[in-house]
Structure 1
Amino acid sequence: MKNCSSDMKRSALIILMLKGFCALSQNTHEVLYSVGCFLNGTAEVQFEFDALEVSYVDFQTEEVIYTVPRFVDPDPSQILVGLSILKDALQNKLSCLAITALCAVEEKSPPKEKDPPESILYPAEEAELGVENRLICFANHFYPPYIKVDWTKNGHPVSEGVSLSRYYPNTDQTFHQFSTLTFTPTEGDIYSCTVEHSALDRPITRVWELDLTRPSLGPDICCGVGLILGLVGVVVGVFLMVKGHHGQ
């Protein structure tokens, strides 16, 4: 390899795509196997089935983790049956890291490219007073793949009921990640999530508060009454016309 592309400076990404791989269905499905590694020495291997992640390899425990239940149809463990997933993942990790190391040596001082995240905060379901729900803090399009998310309720730090997903790759070699907070909406409570990333000059904070305002029912009620009176007028008119016709 004589030259490393700008994408290679960020990471080495090897993608193998197989179509019609699944023999459990008469339909054609798409299986995506991806290996990604980064200059900091970390690596990712994952399988996608019809754009849905079904498994990834945890290199710390050296095991295959299924991210969807095995009772779904088709069973993800059956989709990948016969493949030496863990063995191949370990070999591909070494190959991928060797590529990034070669790029680092060739470039001598690879640029530290960074992309700051975008973030939004929203409830998983329509929020109602006293009904348990989840707030989702979604960070997207960031690189390198590490963010820190902090939650507050009325200005005070919150840790109970908080979860953070793995980071997932986008097609442009950036990443996205979710953090969720389980909560029960109460009038006057204000929640926030703060995202920190090395590409940001300062953290991004998003705020959420239950909106108790409801549209007035006045116009709807007036329209309803008007419609009812209109229909009554039509019925009475028809009745009088019929009566007059028979009376002649």
Structure 2
Amino acid sequence: MAVLNFSCIHLALLFFLYGVVYCLDGGFAKHNDKCHFRGNDELEYSEEIYFNKEMWLWYNSTTDIWKGDTTYGMEIANDLNNEPSKHVTRNILKYILCVENGERLYGYLHNYTVQPNVRLRSEEPASSRHSAMLVCSAYDFYPKTIIITWLRNGQVVTSDVSSTGELANGDWSYQIHSHLEYTPTPGEKISCRVEHYSLPEPQLYDWDPSIPTSEKSKIAIGASGLLLGLVFLLAGLRHYMKNRIGHRQDGPVSASAEQPLLTPLLM
């Protein structure tokens, strides 16, 4: 490891805005400025100074004090704390880096919304108390807060309801899954109500118990397969009849009177 020296220390403090300063002995210093936002009117400005990946000293606007983690860092922190212009300098940096940028950031995030993509489906119940379970899922929405409510014949359902809570997708968007276990009743109406900041009004999604989407897909695939099979069957039958008629025309003709009537239909 490079030997620490004051020339490198002062160089780091003088040119901290460049981020990384290389010293003659191969070491380097790094300066971090951070803005911690906790609300529109509450933020904390902090600074961290490293040398060869080791933190020397740090500052935050909450305590308004520099503190050192090494011998040299404590000496520099003591000098900075005794500077008459310390408060003015830090407040200027806090305003430029945090306040002005924070206003832009909050203005952008306040107006940035993404509507949820909602899907309502049936799954096997997790317990044996009920014979059915519905899942109402909302995908890729922003901001985080969302409310999902189950309605049964227009009445809010609170029992046998569970939720995963908002799950982060890692790209600032979220997803949530709400489960309702129930025992189906003929003629009832079950709905999933979604309320979100991006929606002008709550959205209702009604469950259609007639045929689940997965079953509809299976039926469609089965019907397509059956139709394709019939096409191949008719094509094979036509080919068979043509060959049979051709062989009889080449040999002695002993076909019945009904056979010519089938030929136009199969040609």
The structure with more radius of gyration: 2
Q: TM-score range by the shorter chain?
A: 0.3 to 0.5
If asked which structure has higher relative contact order (CA below 8 Å, sep 6+), I would say 1
What is the TM-score of this pair, normalised by structure 2? 0.39
What is the TM-score of this pair, normalised by structure 1? 0.41
